[in-house]
Chains A and B, each alone.
Chain A
């Protein structure tokens, strides 16, 4: 029930930010927020783990840092006349179980420098495409997974 109230309030607040506070529009906003809450509860049921906000903040900081690095990395390679690319695939044996947490990991790492998740191989490991296979990609992904696991409240222990 707590999740319903929190999400509903969040969606309605989001509506107010986007559309503005108008009494007539507000009624439409209430219905929209209710529909959004229902949809979100169906697609993403409330999880039992508690979010760790300090770890979440660290994750957000790393995301910002790394997406800047990722953009610079691509820009450097694109402008270099020699076009220094060593594209290739590598597998990352992920510990997060399939589900929202793993999806979040994939979304997160798709903005990281030089990595792009392209699916799962036959052993259940994530298959990454890399711009440069000589970069320390696996070490980087391990750090990301650890941070994300901690931010989600250590969900990988009760697997």
Chain B
């Protein structure tokens, strides 16, 4: 059983790491600030989500798991709000100092 859970952890965490890779590759290759913002917010948030899901079987149930999910939700709320703020700033201040 624990072997199966470990396998699940490895799969999900690895998938999460791949999305962090994708986010960074997008950040390096995408041509302008707004497209880079797409890469950053979407790929990295999914990466964090997958890593959190992968870690769930490795922590104490239920409090440790709730805590992980709470951290994830906070990061998600922050990211979705801030990406709009940044997008607005990026659009209005395209050439910028």
Contact = CB atoms under 8 A, between A and B. Distances in A.
Chains A and B in contact, CB within 8 Å: yes
Interface in B13-50: 18-19, 22-23, 25-26, 29-32, 34-35, 37-39, 41-43, 45-47, 49
B90 interface: yes
User: How many A residues are at the interface, by size bracket?
Assistant: 20 to 34
A111 B91 CA distance: 18
Interface in B59-97: 63, 66-67, 70, 76-77, 80-81, 83-84, 87-88, 90-92
Given A17-B63, A77-B26, A129-B87, A71 B46 contact: yes
A87 B37 CA distance: 12
User: How many B residues are at the interface, by size bracket?
Assistant: 35 or more
A111 B82 CA distance: 12
Interface of B: 18-19, 22-23, 25-26, 29-32, 34-35, 37-39, 41-43, 45-47, 49, 63, 66-67, 70, 76-77, 80-81, 83-84, 87-88, 90-92
Contacts of B66: 17
A83 B31 CA distance: 10
Interface of A: 14, 17-18, 20, 67-68, 70-75, 77-79, 83, 85, 87, 106-108, 110-111, 113-114, 116-119, 127, 129, 131
User: Interface residues of A: mostly helix, strand, loop or mixed?
Assistant: helix
Contacts of A106: 84
B70 A116 contact: no
Nearest to A70: B42
A116 B87 contact: yes
B87 A87 contact: no
Q: Max chain B CB contacts within 10 Å: which of A72, A106, A117, A118?
A: A118
26 contacts: A68-B46, A70-B46, A71-B19, A72-B46, A73-B42, A74-B22, A74-B42, A75-B22, A78-B22, A78-B26, A85-B35, A87-B32, A107-B80, A107-B84, A110-B41, A110-B84, A111-B42, A114-B38, A116-B38, A118-B87, A118-B90, A119-B87, A119-B88, A129-B38, A129-B91, A131-B35
